[in-house]
């Protein structure tokens, strides 16, 4: 691990300063995105419920139409049966068509009762859909506004993040790519903190004691020393 020649510790510290800010800003912005996403999910859930209500309304409309059509067909049958009734020759035929008319009237009564129930249902569904559509519009406006607000509030953070990313890239150009890789790897493992000071033989990353021999080497600063506990790159600056 100590195969890299004496590093410019100040450069590494600057790199870490940028990394700390990048890590902080990314965390803040991720939270912001999550917040926006949660708002979108809320709106989508409400939208899905609205679609369900619309579907129920459509079903109710169709049910009413179906029954109305059936009633129409039965009306036609009743008219025909009545016509036949006027033309009958025998009592037997008369009884037959009379029963036909009677049966159809009974069926029509039943359908009309059914239709009333479905019309009630349709009316109820229509009201729910209208109410939900209004609520959806209000919620959408509210959520759009909240998301815009969130975006506005995070503009500065986004700009700052770009600045630090640029700065880090600039610093990175002066460093050995393998060192940059090592830095990135350690940072990823340690929550954005890859380069830490050692104070009084204590690693300021994991707050564990550094062996005295290692502490001396860190103080010498001739090579890159990693903390045996947390693998962070150690430096020592007298404060
Ligand atoms: Zn440590």
Distance between Cα 236 and ligand 1 center (Å): 13
Distance between Cα 172 and ligand 1 center (Å): 23
Distance between Cα 128 and ligand 1 center (Å): 61
Distance between Cα 27 and ligand 1 center (Å): 22
Residues 6+ apart with CB under 8 A from 117: none
Q: What is the pLDDT along the chain (239 residues), one digit of tens a residue?
A: 444 455 678 899 999 999 999 999 999 999 999 999 999 999 999 999 999 999 999 999 999 999 999 999 999 999 999 999 899 899 999 999 999 999 999 999 999 999 999 999 999 999 999 999 999 999 999 999 999 999 999 999 999 999 999 999 999 998 889 889 999 999 999 999 999 999 999 999 999 999 999 999 999 888 889 999 999 999 998 65
Please give the CATH topology (third level) of the domain spanning 33-155: Helix Hairpins (1.10.287)
User: In a 10 Å sphere around its CB, with 0-12 CB exposed, 13-18 middle and 19+ buried, how is residue 147 labelled?
Assistant: middle
pLDDT digit string, tens, across residues 51-81: 999 999 999 999 999 999 999 999 999 999 9
Distance between Cα 162 and ligand 1 center (Å): 29
Other CB atoms within 10 Å distance of the CB of residue 103: 14
pLDDT digit string, tens, across residues 136-171: 999 999 999 999 999 999 999 999 999 999 999 999
CA pair distance 218, 200, nearest whole angstrom: 12
DSSP H or E stretch at residue 197: strand 195-199
Looking at residue 221, its pLDDT comes to: 84
Residues 6+ apart with CB under 8 A from 100: 77, 81, 84
Structural domain boundaries in the chain: 33-155
Distance between Cα 229 and ligand 1 center (Å): 5
Distance between Cα 227 and ligand 1 center (Å): 5
Distance between Cα 84 and ligand 1 center (Å): 103
This prediction's pTM: 0.72
Q: What letter does residue 8 receive in the DSSP assignment? A: -
Helix 177-189 to helix 9-87 angle (10° resolution) is 60
Distance between Cα 201 and ligand 1 center (Å): 10
- Which residue's entry shows tokens 């990693």? 226
């Amino acid at each position: 691990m100590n195969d890299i020649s004496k590093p410019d510790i100040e450069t590494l510290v600057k790199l870490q300063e940028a990394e700390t800010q990048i890590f902080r800003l990314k965390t803040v912005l991720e939270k912001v995105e999550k917040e926006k996403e949660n708002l979108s999910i809320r709106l989508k859930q409400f939208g899905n419920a609205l679609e369900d209500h619309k579907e129920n309304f459509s079903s109710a409309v169709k049910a009413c139409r179906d029954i109305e059509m059936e009633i129409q067909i039965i009306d036609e049958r009743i008219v025909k049966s009545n016509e036949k009734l006027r033309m009958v020759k025998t009592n037997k035929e008369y009884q037959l068509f009379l029963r036909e008319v009677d049966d159809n009237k009974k069926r029509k009564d039943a359908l009309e009762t059914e239709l009333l129930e479905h019309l009630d249902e349709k009316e109820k569904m229509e009201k729910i859909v209208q109410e939900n559509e209004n609520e959806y519009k209000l919620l959408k406006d509210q959520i759009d506004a909240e998301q815009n607000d969130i975006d506005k509030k995070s503009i500065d953070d986004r700009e700052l993040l770009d600045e630090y990313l640029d700065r880090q890239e600039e610093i990175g150009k002066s460093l050995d790519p393998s060192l940059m890789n090592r830095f990135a790897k350690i940072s990823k493992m340690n929550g954005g903190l890859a380069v830490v000071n050692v104070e009084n033989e204590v690693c300021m990353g994991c707050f564990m004691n550094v062996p005295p021999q290692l502490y001396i080497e860190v103080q010498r600063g001739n090579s890159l020393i990693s903390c045996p506990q947390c693998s962070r790159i150690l430096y020592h600056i007298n404060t």
